[in-house]
Amino acid sequence: MTTTTAEFRQARKQVRTFVAVWTFITFMMGVATFLAIAFTYRPNGDNDGDLNVALVANNSLGDPVVIPSLTPQPVTATATPQEVQPTQAVAVAQVLPTDLPTETPVPATPTATATTLPSLYTGFEAGIQVQYSLDFNQGNQDGLYSSVATDLGLGWVKHQVRWENLEAEKGVFDWSTLDLVMPSAQRFGIKMMLSVVTAPDWSREVGVNLEQHGPPANSQDFVNFVLEILKRYPNQVHAIEVWNEMNLDREWTSIGGLSAPNYVSLLRDTYNAVKAVDPGIVIISGALSPTGFDNGVNAIDDFRFTDLLIQAGVLDFSDCYGAHHNGINIPPSVRWNDAYQDNDAKFRGFWDTPHPSWSFRSTLEGYATRIRNAGKTTPLCVTEFGWAVSEDLEGVRPGFEFAADNTLAEQTQWIPEALTFMEDSGFVRLAFIWNFNYGPQAGYNFTNDNVPYSLIRPGYSFAGAYQAVKEWQIEHLQRAGQG
């Protein structure tokens, strides 16, 4: 989702108030966390939520459905690239459960000494997307990441990099936002996943509609930009998501149309270039938008597009298959064809036009089935998931009526349930909660698509889901033997 200039200005006016309140909240939550752990926490070694996984391969289409995408807008300044050094390797699980049902590289030019890959990590890890401090105050940015690392206890953060803003003119870079967030993540020991999207106009195809986002005419321009990031921030990039929702024309407007082979060409070139510099960086394929709408022009059904991507070789050039799901108004354990009822729900898509795209679980299982049926063990990286809630906002924007059906109590329950499902599934490596703090950053404006998902709610209060995620992470680390 994009943030307009007016919304940004309005949000920035509220930053100073937010910073003061946020500092107090962070301090108090730290005290509360210490007391809670010291006096009330009792480790439980049991792995609750053992789910029976049976993947759904049915792809019957309902009426047009496009789950909202989430694309934050960074702010932009300039600096000079430095030499690259390899990051500490982050290994990717290559394991899928055995009981699931069946259903030409471009050479890189940079030179650097690559790290040695460790044994493949087979665990599950959770992270969260955080909007940077809009006042560009390093202390305030550190406060945000400190809350993620020391209070929530999460080890990963997702940050979206909009190429169009960072290299608006070819070869001229604005590093202001990354210069703010990257050192902060490093200070708190946070692993950073960068999702790189939106080509600048100068790089686009001749004659293409520049009013919509799309790929570059020459993939090497994208590759060069990614390599500049690695040069400037050595040892600080741990995963890269290559593009976003390329099964929608609003994200992949191209003379060649929506094209799995063209996307895989971009992915392949990026994968080979990054791995030549540092094989420890996890390359994630761009997550698709779950949708039942498929006219081949404006959108392609995500299951069908997954099949096309696999045919084009996506699994040969990615360590992780990217996925999105933003919950709609059903729990994470419910499959699209389950006999689930919610008679109070006003948004009736799940019931009136049944389709896998409504279901968090069915979407992830559908991807995993297709990967396994292709003879691969590539895991999923869920680069955004969450449940929108509007009960404490001033309204609901058109298209987000499902947010009015969800309560803060349901959000509190469903996010940890989703985390447990992914942890138990055996086919998810990373998952990023959407989102931490877009509420206050956007002035709690309900017309901003990002706000209903925020874990920081009006009055600068934490949603119940914040505490629930913190408690889930403590238990997760205990189960993993790291607590």
pLDDT confidence of residue 25: 52
Residue 352: closest CA among 101, 115, 64, 126: 64
462/155 Cα distance (integer angstroms)? 20
Instruction: Determine contact, residues 271/227, Cβ cutoff 8 Å.
Output: no
Which pLDDT band, with edges at 50, 70 and 90, does 75 fall under? very low
Helix (H) or strand (E) holding 430: strand 428-433
- Distant-in-sequence, close-in-space partners of 290: CB < 8 Å, separation ≥ 6: 65, 67, 302, 324, 325, 356, 357, 363
**In Å, what is the CA distance from 465 to each residue of 203, 343, 412, 413, 441?**
41, 24, 4, 7, 18
pLDDT of 349 > 90? The answer is yes
pLDDT confidence of residue 175: 98
Which pLDDT band, with edges at 50, 70 and 90, does 235 fall under? confident
pLDDT confidence of residue 482: 83
Tokens of 162: 């909009």
Which pLDDT band, with edges at 50, 70 and 90, does 316 fall under? very high
Looking up tokens 């590539």 gives 378
pLDDT confidence of residue 1: 47
Per-residue exposure over 338-350, b if at least 16 CB sit within 10 Å of its own CB, e if not:
beeeeeebebebb
314/271 Cα distance (integer angstroms)? 10
pLDDT confidence of residue 305: 98
**Angle between helix 408-425 and helix 360-373 axes, rounded to 10 deg:** 20
Instruction: Determine contact, residues 88/234, Cβ cutoff 8 Å.
Output: no
5-43+61-339+350-479, CATH topology level: TIM Barrel (3.20.20)
> CA angle 42-44-50, nearest 5°?
150
pLDDT confidence of residue 123: 86
Looking up tokens 């394991």 gives 95
Helix (H, G, I), strand (E, B) or coil at 282: strand
pLDDT of 174 > 50? The answer is yes
Number of Cβ atoms within 10 Å of the Cβ of 203: 21
Residue 156: closest CA among 134, 123, 133: 123
Beta bridge partners of 435: none
pLDDT of 298 > 80? The answer is yes
pLDDT of 2 > 50? The answer is no
* More confident: 215 or 20: 215
Helix (H) or strand (E) holding 321: strand 321-325
Residue percentage of the chain with pLDDT more than 90? 73
The pLDDT tens digits for 150-169 are 999 999 999 999 999 999 99
User: Mean pLDDT throughout 370-397?
Assistant: 97
252/259 Cα distance (integer angstroms)? 9
The pLDDT tens digits for 239-296 are 999 999 999 999 999 999 999 999 999 999 999 999 999 999 999 999 999 999 999 9
pLDDT confidence of residue 24: 54
pTM for this prediction: 0.80
176/173 Cα distance (integer angstroms)? 9
3-class secondary structure for 339-406? CCCCCCCCCCHHHHCCCHHHCHHHHHHHHHHHHHHCCCCCCEEEEEECCCCCCCCCCCCCCCCHHHHC
pLDDT confidence of residue 481: 86
